[in-house]
Structure 1
Amino acid sequence: MTQEITTPSPDRVAPRPAAPAAPTIQVTPPAPLPEETAPPPPRDWPALELAGTEFDPVLRELMREGPLTRIRLPHGEGWAWLATRYDDVKLVTNDPRFSRAEVTRRQVTRLAPHFKPRPGSLAWADQPDHNRLRKPASAAFTVGAMKRLRPRAQELLDELVDALVRQGPPADLVEQVLEPFPLAVVSEVMGVPPAEREQVHAWTRQIISMCGGAEAADRAKEGMYGWIGRTVRARRDSRAEDVLSLLGAAVGRGEISEEEAVGLAGPLQIGGEAVTHNCGQMLYLLLTRPELMARTRERPGERGPVLDELLRHIPHRSTVGLARIAREDVELHGVRIAAGEPVYVSYLAANRDPAVFPDPDRIDPDRAAAPHLSFGNGPHYCTGAVLARLQTELLVDTLLDRLPGLRLAVPAAQVAWRRKTMIRGPRTLPVTW
């Protein structure tokens, strides 16, 4: 928009020759500065006791409100930003302007009642420290290592299913297969002696539970991390390829400290719990969708896309995981995330972004879409993702192939689900065949 400005002539007392007309000047006012989008008010986000594989209704509302919202979780202090769109989640999780290490110095709003990050934990490391810490154990989680592990993992699973078949139906898949199998496999990878596996499993269950409060979780952490420390010390001269031996040898070479080795090993050991409950949800979905079950059973060569679609679909956790802190001001969608402000991402929401996954609430193994983010993204992509996928494939293949007519032994509404936990899944899964 322009304005025309003319210079008026003064009043005259006597006529005189007309003065030449003053030039017309075109003046363009400065463009208005872009207005910063007002931040939404913080929303309280409780840990809901949700039934089955129901998608969190609070998260669904937050997704509708905009790409960036603000949340308050049950514990910690203040509020945090939440990114829910697929592209924004990928940006935040792969951008060095957002720091995990900074969170360890703050009481950020969070789901867990207890927050005591340990030195050495990959979850709280930024580059270049992250690569230094990840390197010692990485050899145990390569594709080649998983190929070598596969026959032993199948052997462990067959022993459990043999016992199931001998017993006959009905049976609880969680108790008899889904809990003991991932525990046995992760213990093989970590190097946990068979006689100590049940104790380690008891510690990991308590650590991810929200029952018992901070004191119970602290006791479990002290027990497990103390055991890991003793084991790492005993394996400083080991040449074995299990994780605890690899970490012990790295300590012996001075590449990492013993404290860092303990912080690395703990979350890797806990990872077996996620496989139990993710697979429980995936099997529940198969058992309650006859057409999907029939397709999966009858077309074994095409099970890969089914598993990926189920991994995208399942709500594998309550609320959100771990926060990041903005190192500097960052603008997203016209919203300024100020330096020092905490930011969460929701992988669950990203996996339901309708711009990336059309009709996102529908389970469609034939959809042509971007990769799901169920194992994370960026430097903090799950270390055990290949191991988790191996176990999932073995469980689905073995159970469907060896238990003809596998189906729920109770109505779907009677399946009991875990309560007061950060990782969702069925507490029992009664089946017959």
Structure 2
Amino acid sequence: MTEEITALTGREPPPVRDWISHELDGTVFDPVLTELMHEGPLTRIRLPYGEGWAWLATRYDEVKMITNDPRFGRAEVAARQVTRLAPHFKPRPGSLAFADQPDHNRLRRTVAGAFTVGAMKRLRPHAQEILDALVDEVVQEGPPADLIERVLEPFPISVISEVMGVPAADREQVHAWTRQIICTSGGAEASERAKHGMYGWITETIRARAGSTGEDVLSLLGAAVSRGEISEEEAVGLAGPLQIGGEGVTHNCGQMLFLLLTSPELLERLRARPESWDVALDELLRWIPHRTAVGLARIAREDVELHGLRIRAGDPVYVSYLAANRDPDVFPEPDRLDLDRDPNPHLSFGNGPHYCTGALLARLQIDLLLHTLLERLPRLRLAVPPDRVPWRRQTMIRGPQALPATWD
């Protein structure tokens, strides 16, 4: 790509900004992203890995347009080394994240039944039982306790394993693989070993469930392969990211709890008005900086003009849901956490065809975690000063590494 082919006559394209991921503590919003948001609705960035530069959309309307416009596709990203955050990039065929229509709908349809509203209603009582058992042990042993280690990590592992159909004996190993895959440290060799182990296990499990009538994801995929609706390669590519997605709940909820435990007025407001719980939860989802930098790029399939700039066919394009969630034209006083904000059309689970498959599951788990911990542990508070809480490093999903807490 050259400067000449990216701009309309008479207007220079914005400069390319190097976006090196900072190691941020707490719920601090990325200062580089703040600068990019102020520079305009469309900027250009270069991330630490890959090649070249990419467009970045930061305003709400542009983010929604790009993510729902078939002129921007994901499939070509899998075959190119576009500028990116992740050092180890090797997409597998069949992944929903890199599928365009009509393949995307064909693939998503095979697992949709495991993530419906009805499926979540059926899952909720069992998920509550799993959570109650974990909290019972914490209460019995007494304070202090690391809520990440004791509750926020094991609970989503157990729930996503139930939804996926991972046997209890295999869950710790599967979790170890997913943790290594999303970590940006350890090098390519460690990441590849984890991927090889997890995808090999998924392949064997899907083969063993050919013709299954089970309602878990791996059984649904095994049955779909046996009926010829998708290939085995596609089934494995589908299952992996869904399994890894369970990691997000731990760290998103960890951020929310840290925020509440360091803001007594917010915690009191949440407890005082249980009837507006859902409204408050939407605001927490909007406000927390749930990831580092940006996610996956799209590729322009044809020339597209936005704000007097021409995005050329073949140009990579990123959107920032974090930035869109702070757009002042949509969210008045966007940097203020307002637990009464309503309406709240946040984009924390994405938008368009690639809207998060497990959004209902994630929300269910966060809802149960916050409700149960705040109810079962009276006067819950940090057991250490806020600046002593350790935060995850070299990772794509932000959150506390540990959350030492105490209670009365």
The TM-score by the shorter chain falls in which range? over 0.9
User: Does structure 2 conserve the Cα–Cα contact (< 8 Å) formed by 1:356 and 1:369?
Assistant: no
Residues of 2 paired with 1:108 and 1:216: CA distance? Answer: 22
What displacement does 1:309 show? 0.4
Contact residue 282 and residue 344 of structure 2 kept, 8 A: no
Q: Percent identity?
A: 76
CA distance in 2 between partners of 1:370 and 1:90 (Å): 15
Query: Which has the higher mean CA deviation after the structures are superposed, 362-371 or 113-122?
Result: 362-371
- Report if aligned partners of 1:111, 1:320 keep a CA contact under 8 Å in 2: yes
Equivalent residue runs for 1:152-301 within 5 Å? 152-301=126-275
Separation in 1 of the partners of 2:342 and 2:112?
A: 31
Distance (whole Å) between structure 1 residues aligned to residue 361 and residue 23 of structure 2: 29
User: Which of 363, 375, 378 is the matching residue for 1:404?
Assistant: 378
The SS at the match of 1:371 is: coil
State whether structure 2 residue 326 is matched by structure 1 residue 352: yes
Does the CA-based 8 Å contact 2:283-2:344 persist in structure 1? no
2:14 corresponding residue in structure 1: 40
Q: 2:354 matched to which residue of 1?
A: 380
Offset of residue 301 of structure 1: 2.2
Match of 2:368 in 1: 394
Residue 66 of structure 1, CA deviation: 0.6
CA contact 2:115–2:361 (8 Å) conserved in 1? yes
Counterpart CA distance in 2 for 1:425 and 1:317 is 8
Selected match of 1:307 from 281, 285, 303: 281
Q: Equivalents in 1 of 2:189, 2:283: separation in Å? A: 38
Shift of 1:370: 4.2
* Other structure's SS at 1:363 match: coil
| Letter aligned with residue 93 of structure 1 | T
**Residue identity matched to 1:335:** L
Letter in 2 for 1:210: T
Q: Is the 8 A contact 1:49 1:419 kept in 2?
A: yes
Quote the offset at 1:102 in angstroms.
1.1
* Corresponding residue SS for 2:189: helix
Cross-structure match for 2:93 = 119
- Give distance in 2, aligned partners of 1:37 and 1:243: 50
- Asked if the contact 1:98/1:325 (under 8 Å) is kept, the reply is yes
| CA distance, structure 2, for counterparts of residue 350 and residue 159 of structure 1 | 38
The partner residue of 1:104 within 78, 97, 102 is: 78
RMSD: 0.9
Contact kept, 8 Å, 1:142 with 1:386, in 2: the verdict is yes
Gaps of 5+ in 2: 1-7
Structure-1 separation of matches of 2:9 and 2:51: 29
Q: Report the CA distance between 1:299 and its aligned residue.
A: 2.0
Q: Give the secondary structure class of the aligned counterpart of 1:81.
A: strand
The 3-state SS of whatever aligns with 1:344 is strand
Amino acid at match of 1:243: V
Residues 142-153 of structure 1 correspond to what in structure 2 (within 5 A)?
A: 142-153=116-127
The equivalent residue for 1:7 is: none
Partner of 1:24: none
Compute the displacement of 1:368 (Å): 3.2
User: C-alpha offsets along residues 341-386 of structure 1, whole Å, 9 cap, x if unaligned?
Assistant: 0000000000001111111111002223441000000000000000
Query: Structure 1 residue runs of 4+, over 4 Å off?
Result: none
Matched, 1:340 2:294: no
Match of residue 52, structure 2, among 61, 66, 78: 78
Distance in 1 between the 2:9 and 2:196 partners? 51
- Residue 225 of structure 1 aligns to a residue whose secondary structure is helix
Q: Which shows bigger deviation, 369-378 or 417-426?
A: 369-378
Is the 1:357–1:369 Cα contact (8 Å) retained in structure 2? no
Q: TM-score, normalised by structure 1?
A: 0.91
C-alpha distance in 1 between matches for 2:404 and 2:344: 34
Distance in 2, matches of 1:369 and 1:344, equals: 26
Of structures 1 and 2, the larger Rg is shown by 1
Measured in 2, the distance between the counterparts of 1:176 and 1:299 equals: 28
State the partner residue of 2:396.
Answer: 422
Residues 279 and 342 in structure 2, CA contact (< 8 A), matched pair in contact too: no
In structure 1, what is the Cα distance between the partners aligned to 2:267 and 2:333? Answer: 21
Partners of 1:36 and 1:431 in 2: how far apart? 58
Quick one: structure 1 residues 97 and 36, their matched pair in 2 at CA, closer, same or farther if it must change by over 3 Å? farther
| Structure 1: distance between partners of 2:296 and 2:224 | 27
CA–CA distance in structure 1, aligned partners of residues 169 and 342 of structure 2: 46
- The one-letter code of the counterpart of 1:193 is P
Deviation string for 1:6-43 (max 9, x for gaps)? xxxxxxxxxxxxxxxxxxxxxxxxxxxx8543111110
Number of residues of Structure 1 aligned to a counterpart in Structure 2: 400
What letter matches 1:55 in structure 2? F
Counterpart residue type for residue 327 of structure 1? R
- The alignment partner of 2:245 has SS state of helix
Q: What one-letter code is carried by the residue in structure 1 that aligns with 2:91?
A: P
Give the 3-state SS of the residue equivalent to 2:305 in structure 1.
strand
| Shift of residue 298, structure 1, vs aligned partner | 2.3
